[in-house]
């Protein structure tokens, strides 16, 4: 099927779908309430004459209705697209942003905030035991509680972001500046990366205690972005820092 603009059609009907059927020359939206209808060459001529004989006010009214219809369709499509984007970038279990959103945000920071941010990876230790001994529902409840505490209790600043990468893995994108608009989200003044990591681990362990899984803890590794460093290079350093922490604490999965 091809789209052409036939000369015999009046201006408001300038979109014309040429059909392969020689007896049916197109699909013409004669009435937006009824949708497109198939028309013959005779019908084209008859409708053209009807349009020419129509008063100017009536023509304007029809055009306005068609414009309103197109605008309504556009609004619905825009809402649907926004909803789809949100769904694609949000973890359905915890409500945190997901891995896709993390990579998008990371690449933006590498491009725009060279050397002015850091990344932390958080990997839950012995989380598998929760699923094995208490069931997956218990494991899901623990993940939700950790996400909630991370957002509300860790005092992540405005501009910082928390993500669930998948399974029992989380990431925190740490900015170096704060707007000061939200006092609850201010990180303690002068806090070091080591101090930040300890608070993250403490929140994980507290959530695990409340969920009846006191054996769960977290390994965490953080690295600041270096000038000229690629996203892949930064992620490799963060990953190594996280596993170094796991080895130092002699964690057994």
The phi-psi region of residue 102 (left if phi > 0; otherwise alpha if psi is between -120 and 50; otherwise beta) is: alpha
So which residues are the catalytic ones?
168
CA distance readout (Å), 33 to 37, 62, 71, 237, 251: 11, 12, 15, 60, 66
How many other CB atoms sit within 10 Å of the CB of residue 151? Answer: 14
What is the Cα–Cα distance from 92 to 74, expressed in whole angstroms? Answer: 27
DSSP 233: H
Q: DSSP state, 9? A: S
Angle in degrees, CA 7, 12, 16, rounded to 5: 50
Question: Shortest CA distance to 204 belongs to which of 161, 246, 154?
Answer: 154
């Amino acid at each position: 099927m091809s789209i052409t603009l036939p000369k015999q059609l009046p201006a408001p009907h300038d979109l014309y779908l040429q059909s392969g059927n020689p007896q049916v020359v197109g699909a013409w939206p004669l009435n937006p309430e009824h949708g497109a209808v198939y028309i013959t060459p005779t019908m084209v001529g008859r409708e053209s004459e009807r349009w020419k004989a129509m008063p100017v006010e009536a023509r304007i009214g029809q055009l306005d209705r068609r414009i309103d219809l197109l605008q309504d369709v556009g609004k619905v499509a825009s809402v649907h697209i926004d909803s789809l984007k949100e769904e694609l970038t949000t973890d359905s279990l915890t409500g945190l942003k997901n891995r896709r959103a993390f990579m998008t945000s990371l690449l933006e920071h590498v491009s725009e905030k060279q050397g002015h941010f850091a990344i932390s990876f958080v990997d839950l230790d012995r989380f598998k035991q929760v699923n094995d001994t208490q069931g997956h529902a218990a494991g899901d409840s623990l993940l939700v509680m950790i996400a909630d505490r991370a957002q509300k209790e860790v005092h992540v600043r405005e501009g910082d972001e928390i993500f669930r990468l998948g399974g029992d893995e989380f990431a925190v994108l740490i900015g170096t500046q704060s707007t000061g608009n939200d006092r609850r989200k201010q990180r303690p003044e002068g806090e070091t990366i080591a101090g930040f990591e300890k608070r993250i681990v403490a929140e994980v362990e507290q959530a695990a205690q409340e969920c009846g899984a006191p054996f769960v803890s977290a390994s965490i590794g953080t690295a600041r972005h270096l000038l000229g460093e690629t996203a892949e290079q930064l992620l490799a350093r963060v990953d190594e820092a996280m596993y170094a922490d796991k080895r130092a604490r002699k964690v057994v999965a």
